């Protein structure tokens, strides 16, 4: 019987799984059984499985954080066994047929989106009588929020190529079309708003247990507190839309979310910049470790420009964020590249990886204010930027920043985001692309600067040519 973890990952596309599909996946009920014969226990197990799926291909040494870090000149991957981490990821072109390179960061996301659709389909089955309406609403809100996160990570990598969104189709049905970028973002907002409505009608608790990443640095493990994560994620999406589409209404919506208590943004006394939601990792049987933990280092190195571009503290030391997240090592050559700095951002193989933190929300509020651009908004943006500079970087505030031009404030903001969110989710690449500033990122002679990743070849082969996003 087909198992949840080994579905075709966009409906109709025959993408191969990592293991024999006939081997039972004991962590997930079968699709047929979950959807046609749902029970409270099966739905709970499948919902927990979304957390497992959400972290797949995020913290591998060549996963979402590290590969987008290469594109955004945050990191290098120096794999002694495969020089394509230089010849392809730095020189190009990106090969859509390479599941570790140009065709990477697609399959796991659609597998999890498909898994969430199976849960939503099970919840719609009248045979599921062991769950109350409030419990079903809690699961729906959770599943739709996690789907929105997966879709966001897809469009962050494929950008103007777009992506399929109408993927809740039976096996063997026509392929979901690849739709434009604005449609994908619209779908993400729709999912988040629908999820928020569901969570508002949920009970006091989820009928399943969330991972430690939803309670270790803040509380987000009940429907009411999880809503704050949902609204924070929408604020990020609306800032992205504001930047990409010059959408003042999007910036206004994001600002409303970030100033009304809907999210977990906090600059009051006792604030915690690390407060937020995280991917959890572990060393237990069947668990997954954090592949970004590389203390030797063996493969993961920091981009040298991070040191040369860092501002200095009053003591003369570099930006505290740089010193907290990287450390000096013996110079490591790799082809025509080299680095003498490694990461200590993740201090163990079980270190959690941020999904969203308070520090990002503060900078997103600054970005929304800067995007609106009135004198009062620019002053407010400068206040948040300086707050992060001082509290996180231990740097002096920039005098009269709010009186500078919107363009100058953006330059400062992007630099602050680069160091605050370093090696957490490809933010530097994503942010600079939004404003047409990729050319301002440091490059070594001969390096390519990629705007996006190609749609994987396995996704394109079954489609009629030409198809959107495919050659």
Give pLDDT tens digits for 79-118.
999 999 999 999 999 999 999 999 999 999 999 999 999 9
Query: DSSP states of 338-366 as a string?
Result: EEEEEE-SS-STT--EEEEEHHHHHHHHH
Where are the strands (E) in 335-444, listed by range? Answer: 337-343, 353-357
CB atoms within 10 A of CB 41: 12
What own/partner pairs with CB < 8 Å and gap ≥ 24 does 93-101 have? 93/448, 94/450, 94/453, 94/454, 95/454, 96/454, 96/455, 96/456, 96/457, 96/460, 97/456, 97/457, 97/458, 99/456, 100/62
Domain boundaries, the chain: 1-17+24-57+105-262, 358-423
Collect all residues with Cβ–Cβ distance below 8 Å to 47 and sequence separation of at least 6.
119, 139, 142, 143, 206, 208
Give the whole-angstrom CA distance, residue 456 versus residue 463. 12
* pLDDT-based confidence at residue 285 (cuts at 50, 70, 90): confident
* pLDDT-based confidence at residue 24 (cuts at 50, 70, 90): very low
CB neighbour class for 353 (10 Å; exposed up to 12, middle 13-18, buried from 19): buried
pLDDT for position 207: 97
Write down the mean pLDDT value for the chain.
93
Give the whole-angstrom CA distance, residue 108 versus residue 17. 10
Give the whole-angstrom CA distance, residue 139 versus residue 199. 8
Q: Is the pLDDT reported for residue 159 higher than 60?
A: yes
Q: Which CATH fold topology does 1-17+24-57+105-262 show?
A: 1.25.40
pLDDT for position 29: 52
* pLDDT > 70: percent of the chain: 94
Q: How far is CA 159 from CA 179, 345, 353, 451, 467, in A?
A: 11, 27, 23, 8, 16
Q: Is the pLDDT reported for residue 37 higher than 60?
A: yes
Give pLDDT tens digits for 292-325.
999 999 999 999 999 999 999 999 999 999 999 9
Query: Any idea what the Cα angle at residue 433 is, between residues 432 and 435, rounded to 5°?
Result: 70
Mean pLDDT of 210-219: 95
Q: Is the pLDDT reported for residue 51 higher than 80?
A: yes
């Amino acid at each position: 019987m087909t198992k949840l973890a080994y579905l075709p990952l966009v409906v109709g596309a025959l993408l191969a799984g990592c293991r024999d599909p006939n081997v039972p996946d004991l962590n997930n009920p079968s699709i047929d059984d979950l959807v046609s014969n749902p029970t409270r226990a099966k739905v709970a197990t499948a919902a927990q499985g979304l957390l497992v799926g959400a972290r797949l291909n995020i913290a591998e040494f060549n996963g979402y954080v590290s590969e987008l870090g290469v594109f955004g000149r945050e990191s290098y991957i120096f794999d002694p066994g495969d020089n394509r981490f230089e010849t392809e990821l730095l020189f190009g072109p990106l090969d859509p047929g390479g599941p570790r390179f140009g065709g990477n960061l697609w399959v796991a996301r659609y597998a999890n989106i498909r898994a969430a659709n199976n849960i939503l389909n099970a919840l719609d089955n009248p045979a599921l009588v062991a769950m109350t309406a409030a419990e079903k609403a809690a699961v729906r809100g959770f599943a739709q929020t996690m789907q929105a996160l997966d879709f966001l990570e897809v469009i962050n990598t494929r950008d103007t190529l777009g992506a399929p969104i109408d993927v809740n189709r039976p096996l063997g049905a026509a392929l979901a079309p690849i739709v434009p970028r604005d449609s994908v973002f619209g779908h993400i907002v729709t999912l988040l708003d629908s999820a928020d409505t569901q969570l508002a009608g949920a009970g006091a608790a989820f009928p399943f247990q969330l991972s430690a990443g939803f309670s270790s640095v803040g509380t987000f493990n009940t429907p009411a507190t999880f809503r704050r994560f949902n609204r924070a994620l929408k604020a990020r999406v609306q800032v992205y839309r504001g930047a990409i589409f010059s959408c003042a209404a999007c910036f206004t919506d994001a600002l409303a979310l970030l100033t009304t208590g809907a999210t977990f943004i906090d600059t009051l006394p006792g604030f915690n910049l690390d407060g937020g939601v995280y991917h959890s990792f572990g060393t237990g049987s069947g668990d997954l470790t954090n592949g970004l933990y590389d203390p030797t280092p063996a493969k993961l190195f920091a981009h040298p420009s991070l040191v040369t571009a860092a501002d200095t503290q009053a003591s003369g030391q570099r930006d505290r964020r740089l010193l907290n997240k990287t450390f000096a090592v013996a110079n490591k050559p790799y082809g025509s590249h080299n680095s003498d700095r490694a990461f200590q951002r993740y201090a163990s193989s079980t270190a959690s990886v941020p999904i969203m933190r308070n520090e990002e929300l503060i900078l997103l509020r600054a970005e929304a204010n800067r995007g609106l651009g009135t004198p009062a908004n620019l002053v407010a943006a400068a206040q948040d930027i300086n707050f992060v500079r001082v509290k996180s970087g231990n740097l002096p505030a920039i005098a009269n920043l709010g009186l500078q031009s919107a363009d100058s404030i953006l330059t400062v903001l992007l630099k602050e985001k680069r160091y605050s969110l370093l090696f957490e989710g490809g933010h530097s690449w994503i942010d600079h692309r939004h404003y047409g500033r990729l050319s301002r990122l440091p490059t070594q002679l001969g390096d390519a600067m990629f705007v996006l990743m190609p749609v994987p070849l396995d996704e394109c082969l079954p489609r009629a040519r030409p198809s959107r996003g495919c050659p």
